[in-house]
Amino acid sequence: MTTHGRAALLMLGSTVMFAFMVIMIRLASETLHTFEVAFFRNFFGLLATAPLLIRHGTGILRTDQLPRYLFRCLVGVVSMFCGFWAIGHLPLAQAVSLSYSSPLFVTIFAVFWLGEQVRMRRWAAVAVGFLGVLLIVRPGTDGFTTGTLIALAAAVLSGLVAIQIKQLSKSEPADRIVIYTTLLWVPMSLAPALFVWEWPQGITWLWAICAGIFGTAGHMLWTRALKLGDVSALTPISFMQLPIVALLGWVLFDQGVDRWTLAGAIVIFAANAYIAHREAVLARRAATQAPVEGAKPGY
């Protein structure tokens, strides 16, 4: 199997794990505050990464990128708070659909953060994707709420995190990124959780534990996928999370998908799919043609 094929399978596995995590978060949010749900997801996620630390030893923690880890994790935990709140308070399909605007922001951040050249066709795809976002949030209507803005903020910050992980993965092994992320997320999420603390009761413990396990498994697969492939090409694959979550939301919570969310999700998916297609075309050209000195990938 090619490197791109392995990256795609890893991203697909990550997508399934994150879909299950979404359901666990929704169930836990019925009785716990968002800050606590995030903390327990990170705490049990840290326990799930313990085998990695045992396998590699403490040497895996040696890095000269600690400031970058701190910044990446701070942005990530704020994105997590926003995303978890959206999962707990919005219809699941709407919350997940808005999260898929993240690749659009990845494209924008790639220009300013990584110096990537983006040309007209890709910018057009980004513009179309934002039309899909507008279909979901519908400014000026009853569907335009603070909740949808919080979900959108999570997508913006998630896009920034994806860029940072891609930068880190150039010099840092995937397991180190996962270990440091969970190590730093635990205290970062604990601090605000202490102000609203209530101990989970009964089966809520199971939801909290499973959220941590599924979330960490998804993060491990996601990080490895980004290590092998391009951010913009891989993130659209995660759109498969939407039908999984929508089906489980219908079965478990009797939630349907309104026509505006469905229409917006389709438009966002189409835009992301086109971006991924153009990335694949560029990769094939790069593989068959000699590189031009000083050239940057773009559209």
pLDDT digits (tens, 9 = 90+) for 144-164: 888 899 999 999 998 888 888
- For residue range 65-121, list pLDDT tens digits in order: 888 899 989 999 999 999 999 999 999 989 988 988 887 888 888 887 777 777 788
- The amino acid sitting at 239 is F
Whose CA is closest to 162, among 241, 219, 210?
Answer: 219
Low-confidence ranges of the chain (pLDDT < 70): 230-233, 235-236, 278-299
| pLDDT value for 39 | 95
Is 138 within the bounds of a domain?
yes
Q: Is residue 299 part of a domain?
A: no
Q: Give me the pLDDT at residue 46, please.
A: 87
- Return the pLDDT at 115: 73
Q: Specify if 297 maps to a domain.
A: no
| Secondary structure in 3-state letters for 219-272 | HHHHHHHHHHCCHHHHHHHHHHHHHHHHHHHHHHHCCCCCHHHHHHHHHHHHHH
pLDDT at 296: 34
Would you say residue 293 lies in a domain?
Answer: no
Residue 82 domain-assigned? yes
* The total number of structural domains that make up the chain: 1
pTM of structure: 0.82
Q: Report yes or no on 298 lying in a domain.
A: no
Q: Is 236 among the domain residues? A: yes
Domain contains 170: yes
Residue 197's domain comprises 3-288
